[in-house]
Structure 1
């Protein structure tokens, strides 16, 4: 019997050793593939930080990040009540990218373990990526897999023919002629916010008050943007979709971790269970709304109607795929459409609070073209100052931090040969603050630089990418711009926006660039 147990123990040990040896072989083999790719890039004159065995440059990234966090913590303790007005945050959020850019220039290569990356912030190459229309380049597969619970295989994460087909179906829903028809609903959606702020100001003015009230504007703007998405895209009010938005936010916070940038993936058993449950709950809620829409037989021409028509009439989608197609794209629009617009509007109000002269200019423009306070399609096209302010705010605080691509086959970009498997990263905040492109005042808030449009605002217009680049340009760009123009025009025409000492300037990266502690501002009714 003793011999039997000894034999079983030996067999178990051999199995464990065999499994570990297999994993080690696979990992080392993958690492050597990455190393071969790195050498191909280096033969073209592309340098970068030397990688460590198996882990690549991950130790460097984590070390640099830890050093900056330690420094920032010390500064925060010394300046806890100081209103920070500097706008350049790239060196604190992405210090390794900035460190290497200063050392190796706007084009360099680095690795995260088994994956080789190419950092591209060179304007001519950014232009080439922008004009690259082959399906052999797309969203990085690893990133799409990490965010699959949030976006599934919707238009934001799909690649190849699937992405091309989805874009063909969805993009027309956000063409300008369609968005113009949504203006009235957007104006209706902002009224509750305006009424709420007016009532708070009136309450603050009672007695001996000065009528000034402190508001965390990003929270209320989030509600406004959610209502717009709910009404114009899915035919129901925010109150009906409130639970969906809440669960999507929870899912996003659960997914958010450094693995997005540091190349890590995978979750613990508990976290994975939470993610799976949230996925099922969100899918169930969305499908409940879909079934309600089907039962109502409504012919309302919105995004929901188009999705239902697509799965009904398009043989390429297929019956089994149709439910996931609808759910994934609804999740994408709920998440990407609502959050990015609300964050952008919050940054706009903060910058206007710090630069009150631009509030005065906006009020004068709104009074000239909207004399009765009525904002419509015709008057919106005349609000040039509002447009300039939005464009400048998106330059300084673009919600999107990166343009990321993966080469699924060997491809040619400009004079560079990009091997299959390379991930390309373009850091948007760095492009938007490049003094060679925007001038020595690149970190200053100067909306007048856009007075003649984006093409005349800088030397390389292709480097302005708040909505992404090229064929994968955000399909909701027109909707977002119209929404921002409406909410800013109406808010500034009715309220004076003043900086609050409660605001702590701390941009944070949580899949998008957002204010870590919210945007607290003083609001005063005019």
Structure 2
């Protein structure tokens, strides 16, 4: 917005200098005054009115500056925190003071509810459990995904289910959700086992190359390969090798976009695309072209097959044809393929990486899971039924997702004036809840909230904490992650196979440095020392 304002000022100055007729001067001055008035209203008065509405309800927060809001303060706090950070092999599970230090600093100063701004955009930070619960369970379509954030993610996600609102979101959920119901996911277990076997063989070969002793493994890329292969096979009827180029380019696009912080960014209009923006545009076009090639190929295969079993891509094609025109249907299909490729592949691989990191730190839980696998799989064969019986595994995964949820926030925008609890949220205000803080609140989880203790989930989520609705690694309510069942089952399959074959510990090279790149992931991969497991 600031760049647009100064562009008009420069343009008017050039015009003003070139004019000689007095009446034209008067016209230009009047136009200049109107533009100045408009931008003052957009950049200051309107955001200030919204802030006043929040302040009158007793909501405090850091004082914003003109044009920038609290962005400079956020950047200064972040820089100071990064400078003080001591990234090492020592694992301190509470990473919020390093990754999101401004939120933590303001929370300690202003409480669990406060207001802040980025440019002319007003935000409401809410980490009061009852309000978070109400917001998550709301079925009101007047509250949706923040538009200014999702706009930045548009090249990565299009207008698919992860970033759409209202009627379009409801339509997409209707088509996509059934493909990830638990019965469907159980049918994918065979594919998950097949996709994990090459990883087991690769790691075993690495051990063999070390004389059958200990090998060092960086896990993330291999885990992306597994989750990507499962998605490609189960949902789109192709192997990972066909989708590898798509996954690789999506990962590159994610890294480029993450350099443009959605938390710091000022909404602007730029007339000249930067080098970074051009790279984003080129990657977006390449990804969409590759996905559409896959769609066309799959459509041709489907026309030649007589199988009654339809994969997700076929359902997307049918849903788009039934509900949309030709141009809209193509975008609908491509956008949702991007959503499933990215969310299913990246988030699941990251979650398994965190799981292996914590199990490497706690080998006693490796032993407990092995004993459980031996009990539920006496013949050594893992299947959908045995996966369902793995209670110890479920406890570990719940605890991993409590401490290291890949999704950092529950984020919403008031699309109209709405009421959440006792707070009236004005239209346009973005609401943020930091999941990691909710998952570490000692009043909800106890004094050991920062410790890895899977046993807290022995009696399920409701038995682990005082308010189960604030355990939200997959969200809650209408916006519950559609891939929850897929992610949990895939995590169980991969971890079961790894633990059955290997024992492992953290490598001395590992540096614990969680980072936020659209999701919270290991900043420097997870390196483990792995050896073949031999039952004593």
Query: Residues 306-455 of structure 1: matches in 2 within 5 Å?
Result: 306-312=315-321, 314=322, 316-455=323-462
- Work out which of the residue numbers 102, 123, 133 in structure 2 matches 1:117: 123
Does residue 476 (structure 1) correspond to residue 452 (structure 2)? The answer is: no
- Work out which of the residue numbers 225, 228, 241 in structure 2 matches 1:226: 228
Q: In 1, distance between residues paired with 2:465 and 2:420?
A: 23
1:409–1:525: structure 2 CA closer, same or farther, 3 Å change rule?
same
Does residue 88 (structure 1) correspond to residue 94 (structure 2)? The answer is: yes
Displacement of 1:400: 0.5
1:374–1:41: structure 2 CA closer, same or farther, 3 Å change rule?
same
Q: Deviations over 1:203-236 (max 9, x none)?
A: 2125xxxx11000011211111111111111110
SS in 2 for 1:260: coil
Structure 1 stretch 57-66 or stretch 164-173: which is displaced more?
57-66
For the 8 Å contact 2:16–2:28, the answer to whether it is kept is no
Does residue 262 (structure 1) correspond to residue 264 (structure 2)? The answer is: yes
2:529 maps to 522
1:104–1:235: structure 2 CA closer, same or farther, 3 Å change rule?
same
SS in 2 for 1:108: strand
1:511–1:43: structure 2 CA closer, same or farther, 3 Å change rule?
same
2:12 maps to none
SS in 2 for 1:205: coil
Q: Deviations over 1:461-506 (max 9, x none)?
A: 1111101232111111000000001001111111001111010110
Displacement of 1:451: 0.8
1:155–1:9: structure 2 CA closer, same or farther, 3 Å change rule?
same
1:79 maps to none
Does residue 41 (structure 1) correspond to residue 54 (structure 2)? The answer is: yes
1:215 maps to 217
Q: In 2, distance between residues paired with 1:430 and 1:516?
A: 20
1:287 maps to 292
- Work out which of the residue numbers 37, 45, 50 in structure 2 matches 1:25: 37
SS in 2 for 1:165: helix
Q: In 1, distance between residues paired with 2:380 and 2:528?
A: 24
Q: In 2, distance between residues paired with 1:525 and 1:431?
A: 38
Q: In 2, distance between residues paired with 1:7 and 1:396?
A: 62
2:514 maps to 507
Q: TM-score, normalised by structure 1?
A: 0.93
SS in 1 for 2:242: helix
SS in 1 for 2:262: helix
Does residue 8 (structure 1) correspond to residue 18 (structure 2)? The answer is: yes
For the 8 Å contact 1:354–1:499, the answer to whether it is kept is yes
1:205 maps to 211
1:163 maps to 169
1:19–1:284: structure 2 CA closer, same or farther, 3 Å change rule?
farther
2:66 maps to 53
1:189 maps to 195
For the 8 Å contact 2:219–2:353, the answer to whether it is kept is yes
For the 8 Å contact 1:146–1:265, the answer to whether it is kept is no
Alignment: residue pair count:
509
Displacement of 1:24: 4.2
Q: In 2, distance between residues paired with 1:118 and 1:429?
A: 17
CA RMSD of aligned residues (A): 2.0
Displacement of 1:8: 2.2
For the 8 Å contact 1:344–1:397, the answer to whether it is kept is yes
Q: In 2, distance between residues paired with 1:186 and 1:339?
A: 16
Displacement of 1:317: 2.0
1:45–1:205: structure 2 CA closer, same or farther, 3 Å change rule?
same
For the 8 Å contact 1:115–1:422, the answer to whether it is kept is yes
For the 8 Å contact 1:403–1:469, the answer to whether it is kept is no
Q: In 2, distance between residues paired with 1:274 and 1:17?
A: 40
1:24–1:338: structure 2 CA closer, same or farther, 3 Å change rule?
farther
Q: In 2, distance between residues paired with 1:13 and 1:445?
A: 71
Q: In 1, distance between residues paired with 2:20 and 2:287?
A: 48
1:447–1:185: structure 2 CA closer, same or farther, 3 Å change rule?
same
For the 8 Å contact 1:118–1:423, the answer to whether it is kept is yes
1:145 maps to 151
For the 8 Å contact 2:403–2:439, the answer to whether it is kept is yes
1:238 maps to 240
Q: In 1, distance between residues paired with 2:31 and 2:103?
A: 37
Q: In 2, distance between residues paired with 1:230 and 1:434?
A: 38
1:331–1:15: structure 2 CA closer, same or farther, 3 Å change rule?
farther
For the 8 Å contact 1:147–1:255, the answer to whether it is kept is yes
Q: In 1, distance between residues paired with 2:153 and 2:27?
A: 34
Q: TM-score, normalised by structure 2?
A: 0.91
